[in-house]
Amino acid sequence: MTSSAMQQLYQQIILDHAKSANGAVAELAALDADAATAASAAGVRLAQSHQVNTTCGDEITVRVGLSGTGADARIDEFAWRGAGCSISMASASVLNDTVRGTTVAESEAMLDLFREMLRSRGTIEPDEEVLGDAAAFAGVSKYPARVKCAMLPWVAFEAALLQLAEPA
Amino acid sequence: MTFVAPPPAPARDPSDQTPSDHAQTDQPLTDRSGSDLTLSSDEVLRIRNDFPVLHQLVNGHPLAYLDSGATSQNPISVMEAEQEYYEQRNAAVHRGAHTLAFAATEVFEAARATVAAFVGAAENEIVWTSNATEGVNLVSYAFSNASLGLGGPAATRFRLGTGDEIVVTEMEHHSNLIPWQQLALRTGATLRFIPVRADGTLDMTAAGEILNPRTRLLAVTHASNVVGTINPIDDLVAMAHAVDALVFLDACQSAPHLALDLTALGVDFAVFSGHKMLGPTGIGVLYGKAELLAAMPPFLTGGSMITTVDMQGAEFLAPPQRFEAGTQRISQAIALASAVDYLSHTGMHRIRTREAELGRRLVEGVTAIPGVRLLGPGLGVERIGLAAVDVAGVHAHDVGQFLDEAGIAVRVGHHCAQPLHKKLGVTASTRASTYLYTTDDEVDRFLAVLAEVAPFFGVSR
C-alpha cells in the first residue's frame, strides 16, 4: 500500500543516509578540559552541543572542531552521536557531508537555506546544485511535526558554532 | 421564574433523527446485543455512531483511532451535557441565593455522586481536580504541608522526614513518579522502587522486600499505559497495609476500561482523568478515604474552601470542598458524569471483556509479524486493550508516520514512561490502544500496515 506520499517523505537518499550515518561515532564523551587542551595544541577549537526533541525523545550530540580564525575559520572536525528516527539520523549524516571542510560562513549559509526550506511547508523548491543531498528533505517540510526531527542535528551544530563565535 | 430540572440522563428527544439510539433508551443494551458478556460487532458499530469524530477520512483513509490510551473521544451525549449546562444552568456553585445557582450546584453535586458510585466511593471521597496529574500533586503537597507541621496532630499520618520511604514502581507514568521524587526531595524521605521484570510485570518478590516498616506510602499504577498489564493491587495493598503504609493508586488506565471498586480494592487514594473515559479535558478525579481526607491539610487554598477567615488565619471546610479552592470545573464535571452514565449504560464488565478480546487480537497479530517485538507479556496474561511494540531497525516516530499515512492514529515515543522503556531496552515504542468503539477491522488494518513498515524502511523482513 506504500503511498507516493511516503516515498516523497522517505526518499531513498534519506533512507540510505539513515543507514550509512556518515560522521557518526560510537562514543562521544562530554568535552572535558583535557580534550579541549589537546585540540587547542593542534590548533583546533572544539565545541559540542547536545539537543533533545522532547516530543519523541530523539537526541543528538554534535562536536565541531574549527581551525583558523575569522573568515578563514574552517570546520576541520565533525562528529555526531545520536538516537532517533530516520529523518533526524539521515539529517545528521547529510549535515556531516555538507559542512565538513567548509568555512564557518559557508556552513552558516547552508544552515539558513536548509532551515528556510524546512519552514516553507513545501512551497520552496530546493536547488539541488546548492543543497546537494540536503535537498531531499524538502518533502519533510510538508510535515510540520517532522521538521523538528530534520532540524535537530543542525540546531546542535548551530549551538556548537555559537560557542566558538569570535567577539565581533 | 421557576427552574424545572430536566431528566438527568438522555437530553435528546428519542424521536430525533440521530445516528444512533444508543444511550438514549432505558432498555439495557444487553437486550439488543444478544450477549451479555461482551460487545457484539453490531453493537460496536451502533456505539460508533455516537462519536462524530470517528467518521472522517485521514490522508484519504477512514480514520482508525487507536490512541484512546492517550485521550478518548466524546460521544454526542457528553458534548450535549456540557452545552446544556451552559444553555440552561450556568451559575456559580455553592454560593448565591438564586434559582440558577441552586440548579448549578445541584447538577454539579449530582455529577460527584455519579462518579462516586461509578468507582465504589462515597460522595465526600471524590475531589475534582483539573487532571489526574494535579491529583497526584495535591496529595504530594498535602504530605509536604503536613511535614511542615500544618494540619496539626491529625495530620501526623502524612508527615515525612529523613528515614521515611516512599515506594513507587518502575512502570509508573511520569505523573505518578515525579511528584513523589519531588516530595522526597522536599522532605528528606527516600524514594525506592519496585522493579519490573523482563516480561513487563512487577517483581512481587522484590516488592515484599522493598515494602518495610519505614515505608510510608506506595504509589502504583493499576494498569500500565505501556505494557497493558493489570497489576495485582489486592496483594500490594495487603503488603503495604501490613507495614502501615498508605497506598496511592493511579487508575488512569483502569477507570475507563474495567469495573473499578476503590473501596473493595482498599486503596487509600486514587486518581483518574476524565478525558481518557469519554469525558472532556480539564477534569480529573482524586479519591481519598473519608477519614484520610478529613485529616489531610489542603494544597491549593483561597476562596470556596474556607469556613471563617480573619487577617491572620482561616478555618477550612470539610472534604471534598477543602481541596477545591477557587471556581470549579463545573461544566466538565457534569460532562464527565454524562460520560460515566454512557459507560455504565454500556456495562463496564462488557467493556473489559471486549477490550481483552481486542488486546488479544493485537497481541496475536503483532507477535506474528517478523521483526516486531511486543513490550510486556504475551498471550495468557490479561491486558487492557493496548499493545506497545518495537519494530527492529525502525524508529517509532517513523512507524507512526507510516501508520498515519494510512489513516491509523497511534501513539509513538516513550508514553511518559522513560524508565520503563529503558528497562525494556528501547527508547521509544509504538502503541495502539483501543476502546469500546474500536472495531476488529481497525485492529486488523493496524496489523496489516505494521507488517509493511520494515520492508518499506528496508530492514529485516
Contact B396 A56 (CB under 8 A): yes
- Of the listed ranges A74-78, B125-129, B456-460, the least confidently predicted one is B456-460
Indicate the residue of B59, B395, B413 with minimum beta-carbon distance to A55. Answer: B413
In b/e form, how buried is each residue of B333-348, taking b as 16+ CB within 10 angstroms? bbbbbbbbbbbebbbb
The structural domain count of chain A equals: 1
Rounded CA-CA distance B340/B167 in Å is 31
Contact A10 B456 (CB under 8 A): yes
Indicate the residue of A5, A85, A143 with minimum beta-carbon distance to B395. Answer: A85
Indicate the residue of A2, A19, A83 with minimum beta-carbon distance to B427. Answer: A83
In b/e form, how buried is each residue of B56-87, taking b as 16+ CB within 10 angstroms? eeeeebebbbbbbbbebbbbbbbebbbebbee
Rounded CA-CA distance A82/A104 in Å is 23
Give residue-wise pLDDT tens across range B236-274: 999 999 999 999 999 999 999 999 999 999 999 999 999
C-alpha cell at B136: 497526584
Please give the pLDDT value at position B20. Answer: 44
Contact B412 A56 (CB under 8 A): yes
Q: Check: CATH 3.40.640.10 for B99-343?
A: yes
Does a structural domain hold residue A168?
A: no
Cα–Cα–Cα angle for B442, B445, B449, rounded to 5 degrees: 145
Query: Quick one: average pLDDT of B275-294?
Result: 98
Contact B397 A84 (CB under 8 A): yes
- Residues of chain B with C-beta less than 8 angstroms from the C-beta of A149: 397
End-to-end CA distance of chain A: 55
Please give the pLDDT value at position A55. Answer: 76
B300 DSSP assignment: S
Contact B458 A15 (CB under 8 A): yes
Indicate the residue of A15, A146, A149 with minimum beta-carbon distance to B457. Answer: A15
Contact B427 A1 (CB under 8 A): no
Are B248 and B277 a contacting pair, CB within 8 Å? no
From B412, which residue of chain A is nearest by alpha-carbon distance? A56
From A140, which residue of chain B is nearest by alpha-carbon distance? B401
Confidence band of A8 (pLDDT split at 50, 70, 90): confident
Query: Quick one: average pLDDT of B372-399?
Result: 93
Contact B452 A9 (CB under 8 A): no
Does a structural domain hold residue A121?
A: yes
In DSSP terms, B218 is beta-bridged to B167, B247
Confidence band of A34 (pLDDT split at 50, 70, 90): confident
Are B272 and B152 a contacting pair, CB within 8 Å? no
Please give the pLDDT value at position A168. Answer: 67
Mean pLDDT (chain B) is 92
- Residues of chain A with C-beta less than 8 angstroms from the C-beta of B397: 56, 58, 84-85, 87, 146, 149
Domain span holding position A101: 4-163
DSSP B305-354: SEEEE-SS-EEEPPTTGGG--SS--HHHHHHHHHHHHHHHHH-HHHHHHH
Are B353 and B37 a contacting pair, CB within 8 Å? yes
Mean pLDDT (chain A) is 90
Residues 106-165 of A with CB under 8 A from B: 143, 146, 149
User: Which residue matches cell numbers 557531508?
Assistant: A97
Confidence band of B222 (pLDDT split at 50, 70, 90): very high
A127 or B432, which is more confident? Answer: B432
- Residues of chain B with C-beta less than 8 angstroms from the C-beta of A86: 394-395, 398, 457
In chain B, % of residues over pLDDT 90: 85
Q: Does A56 touch chain B (CB under 8 A)?
A: yes
Please give, rounded to a whole number of angstroms, the shortest distance from the CA of B272 to a CA of chain A: 23
What φ, ψ does residue B115 adopt, rounded to 5°? -70, -40
End-to-end CA distance of chain B: 72
Predicted complex ipTM? 0.86
Q: Hey, of A13, A17, A54, A56, which one would you mutate to test binding to chain B, going by the most B CBs within 10 A of its CB?
A: A56
What angle do helix axes B132-147 and B178-187 make, rounded to 10 degrees? Answer: 10
Q: Hey, of A2, A16, A20, A146, which one would you mutate to test binding to chain B, going by the most B CBs within 10 A of its CB?
A: A2
- Residues of chain A with C-beta less than 8 angstroms from the C-beta of B401: 6, 9, 143, 146
Are A94 and A85 a contacting pair, CB within 8 Å? no
Contact A57 B428 (CB under 8 A): yes
Residues comprising chain A, all counted: 168
Those residues whose C-beta lies under 8 Å from the C-beta of residue A161, and which sit 6 or more positions away, are A47, A64, A104, A107, A108
Query: Quick one: average pLDDT of A87-103?
Result: 96
Are B202 and B363 a contacting pair, CB within 8 Å? no
Please give the pLDDT value at position A71. Answer: 78
Greatest Cα pair distance, chain A, in angstroms, is: 57
**Residue whose C-alpha is closest to residue B102's, from B205, B226, B1, B225:** B1
Rounded CA-CA distance B412/B363 in Å is 17
- Residues of chain B with C-beta less than 8 angstroms from the C-beta of A89: 395
In DSSP terms, B202 is beta-bridged to B196
Contact A9 B414 (CB under 8 A): no
Sequence spans of domains, chain B: 99-343
Give residue-wise pLDDT tens across range B193-211: 999 999 999 999 999 999 9
Size of interface A-B (CB pairs under 8 A): 53
Please give the pLDDT value at position B461. Answer: 41
Does a structural domain hold residue A149?
A: yes
Are B240 and B246 a contacting pair, CB within 8 Å? yes
Contact A146 B59 (CB under 8 A): no
B11 has pLDDT over 60: no
What φ, ψ does residue A88 adopt, rounded to 5°? -70, -35
Q: Hey, of A10, A147, A148, which one would you mutate to test binding to chain B, going by the most B CBs within 10 A of its CB?
A: A10
Confidence band of A2 (pLDDT split at 50, 70, 90): low
Query: Quick one: average pLDDT of B303-326?
Result: 94
Query: Quick one: average pLDDT of B177-183?
Result: 98
Instruction: Quote the radius of gyration of chain A (alpha carbons, Å).
Output: 16
Please give, rounded to a whole number of angstroms, the shortest distance from the CA of A109 to a CA of chain B: 29
Contact B458 A2 (CB under 8 A): no
Give residue-wise pLDDT tens across range B120-157: 999 999 999 999 999 999 999 999 999 999 999 999 99
Rounded CA-CA distance B304/B293 in Å is 17
CATH at residue A136: 3.90.1010.10
Rounded CA-CA distance B168/B417 in Å is 13
Residue type, B3: F
Show which residues of B are catalytic: 416
In b/e form, how buried is each residue of B236-247, taking b as 16+ CB within 10 angstroms? bbebbbeeebbb
Please give, rounded to a whole number of angstroms, the shortest distance from the CA of A37 to a CA of chain B: 34
For residue B382, give Cα distances in angstroms to A9, B357, B446: 38, 10, 21
SS3 B430: strand
Q: Hey, of B174, B397, B456, which one would you mutate to test binding to chain A, going by the most A CBs within 10 A of its CB?
A: B397
Residues comprising chain B, all counted: 461
